[in-house]
Structures are given as structure tokens and as C-alpha cells.
Amino acid sequence: MSPNGPQMVRQLNRRLVLDLFRDGEVRSRADVARQTGLTKPSASAITDGLLAEGFLLDAGVGEPGSAGGRRPNLLRFNERHRAYVGVHFGAQRTMVTLADALGNPLARASTASSLGDAERGLRAARTLVLRACGRADMAIDLVAAVGVSVEGLVDQTSGRCLLAPNLGWRDVPIQARMEELVGAPATVFNEAHAGALAEHHAGVAVGVESFVRLSVGTGVGSGVVLGSQLFSGSTGIAGEIGHCRVEDDGLECGCGNTGCLETVAGEPAITRAVDVALRDGRFSALREGSHLRLIIDAAHEGDEAARAALARAGRGLARGISYLLNVLDPDLVVIGGAVRGAGELLLGPLREELPRSSLPQHRARQVVFSDVPQAELDGAVLLARRLDEAVAP
């Protein structure tokens, strides 16, 4: 055995015990030995060490066993011994969640995004982290890891945002700067990838081995999960369905191409379609520049221009989704973002268009709305937890 063999075994056993307590249940040292298969002396030594370091807390005494004897001392996971930060850089808002060691949200904070000024945006995120820590009465020194999701192309090997057209950011070292600003390890993912992780963890895709989640906001992206594992591609930019062409004579996209899905189905595209209808004299109770929520509400009330705009977006999404169905053949397609509120006004045209663009073997019932409202932010918290668990001794 190599010189590092015994140390590696101790680290693995320590992680085994710590993972056991992450379910929040109270246990005795004897329970730990029985449930992990460790010897009682090893289980006691590890739990005593975790107790001394603050990972575990005393939880009183339990009942004696059926054979009588001493009442066992109980231990529980100390969810406040460390914290995780999730940051989402969206085109409209920058949002932060501070979570405890079990991933439970403790506090949130948000501000308007810094368009065209990445450094200002990163510093604003640090301010939000401090604000959330203050609200939760948690020292920033307890932040063990930071997970970041950003509405843009991300090189996961370097943690740089290569391009975020809707933020006006280009080649931004987000990982390095967040580590400097917060003082904890950081990891950076595209927002759609983070959203897919959250959907797989606690959404409609729980237990689904193969699915795609579209994030429809200012932009349109997708996170691909295959064999229950996130597929990011060689550098982390897989799934950029929003920049696939769906219209030959379409509008110019922020990426520089024309006719991209984003220019048809993103929130600005829906608003723009309503504005065009109004200028063409189509009946509507809306005004130019109406927010997506107002458009959706008006559509549910029968507004013609609003319904037409949502139907156009649904048909555009169908053409984009057809690429995913034909290439990946996923079990499920999930649509997230504010468009969820449109319901059948968007899904109906989407299902009608989908058979025209994809193989007939694919069933339209594969497409559903997400039930995780802030998946991109929740996914960022998950990323922070995974990063910490991967590097913790």
C-alpha cells in the first residue's frame, strides 16, 4: 500500500460518516457503526473528530436498547457550520441565495443587473452576498463555496464567461473574481445547465435519466442530462439551442447571427411581436413595451395580439426542440422561465408544430413546463454544495 493509503482510507471513512448525517437525522455512535459498516472504535473516533470541528452537534440522549444499559449520546448534523452561496447573473436581475450546509435557503438578495459592466456586476454580487449573510446572521467566513450561473457561454475549464450577449459581457474571469471577492472556491456554469441540475434534483425531471431543460428568458438556452449526468460538452457550452437558426429571414441576434431561436421565442421577441401587432392595427388592450407578465395575463383574457405573440413563440420553440429530439431522443423536454405562465396558449401551438419539424416517433407529450420557479439560482446552490463536497477532506 502506498504511504498515502491509510490517510486516504481515513478521508473516505470520514466522508462516509459525514454523508450519513446529511439527511438531518439524529444518530448514536453505535448507529453510525451499524449503518456504515465501520468498527465501533473507528466510528467513535470519526464522529468525535467531526464533533470537535463543528460538523456535528450534541443532540441529547436516546432511549436505552431493548437489553437495557446506558442511554446513548446522540449527534446531529450542524447545518450552520458552513454555508453555500448561489449567484445567478441574469440579463435583468442578479440574484443571490445563501444556504446552510444542507442546502436549505437562509436568505436571498437581488439587484438590477449591470449591463455592459462586468466588474461592477461582480462587485454588486459580493454586496448581495454580504447582505444575505447579514440577514441570516451568518459570517461570510463560513461560506465554503460559491456556485454561479450566468446567462451566457461559459468555459467550465477556466470559469470564464466567454460571451453573454444580453448582459454585454465578454471574456470575464467570473470564477477567479468571485473567489477573490467572496474568499471561497467558486464554480461557474451556464444558467441553463444549472437549471437542469435543479430540475433533476427537485423538479419534474426527478428520476428521469435523459431529458433536456430549456431556459426561456431574455435568451434561450438548454441543459442536457444524459444517463443522469449533465452533458456540458468539451468546454461547457453544449446546449446553446437559442443560437440555432429557426427563421431564414429572421432578425439579428445578439450573437451576431440572424433568425436564431432567441429572436423568436425569448421574452424580448414576444414583447416585440406584440408591438408589431399594435403598430399594424391589431386589436389589443396592451400598450407597446408591455412586460411579459402583462402579455400573458392579457392572452388568458382573450387578447388577440398577446395570443398571437405567444403562439409564434411556441411554434419557434417547437422548431428548436425538434433539433434536440432528433439528435438526443430524450425522455422528456422541460421548459422553464416566465413563459411557464402561458400554459396551453404556448404549449398548444408548440405541440401542433412539433410533428412538422421532428420525426413522427417523438411524442409531443414529452414537452412539459418546469415546476422549479428559480431553477437557475437553485442550481447554483447545488453547484456550490457539489464543489465543496468534492474538495472537502
pLDDT, tens digit (0-9, with 9 covering 90-100), for 4-27: 577 888 888 998 999 899 888 999
Q: Which CATH architecture has domain 5-77?
A: Orthogonal Bundle (1.10)
| Cα atoms in the Cβ-side hemisphere of radius 13 Å centred on 241 | 31
pTM: 0.89
* E strands present in the chain: 27-28, 56-61, 73-77, 83-89, 93-100, 105-112, 143-150, 153-155, 160-164, 169-172, 186-190, 211-216, 220-226, 229-231, 332-336, 367-369
Query: How many Å apart are CA 159 and CA 176, to the nearest integer?
Result: 7
Whether the pLDDT of residue 1 is over 50: the answer is no
With contact defined as beta carbons under 8 Å apart, do 94 and 113 qualify? yes
Q: 160: which residues sit within 8 A by CB, 6+ positions away?
A: 154, 171, 172, 173, 174, 175, 188
Query: How many Å apart are CA 32 and CA 47, to the nearest integer?
Result: 8
How much is the pLDDT for 172? 98
Whether the pLDDT of residue 305 is over 90: the answer is yes
Query: How many Å apart are CA 26 and CA 75, to the nearest integer?
Result: 5
How much is the pLDDT for 65? 67
Give CATH for domain 206-371.
3.30.420.40
Helix (H, G, I), strand (E, B) or coil at 41: helix
Residues of the chain with CATH 1.10.10.10: 5-77
How much is the pLDDT for 234? 83
- Average of pLDDT values for 246-253? 89
Whether the pLDDT of residue 364 is over 50: the answer is no
Whether the pLDDT of residue 34 is over 70: the answer is yes
Residues of the chain with CATH 3.30.420.40: 83-196+376-391, 206-371
Give CATH for domain 83-196+376-391.
3.30.420.40
How much is the pLDDT for 235? 78
**From its phi and psi, is residue 281 left (phi > 0), alpha (psi between -120 and 50) or beta?**
left
Q: How many CB atoms lie within 10 A of CB 227?
A: 7
**Among candidates 211, 178, 169, 171, which has minimal Cα distance to 192?**
211
- Average of pLDDT values for 33-54? 94
How much is the pLDDT for 5? 72
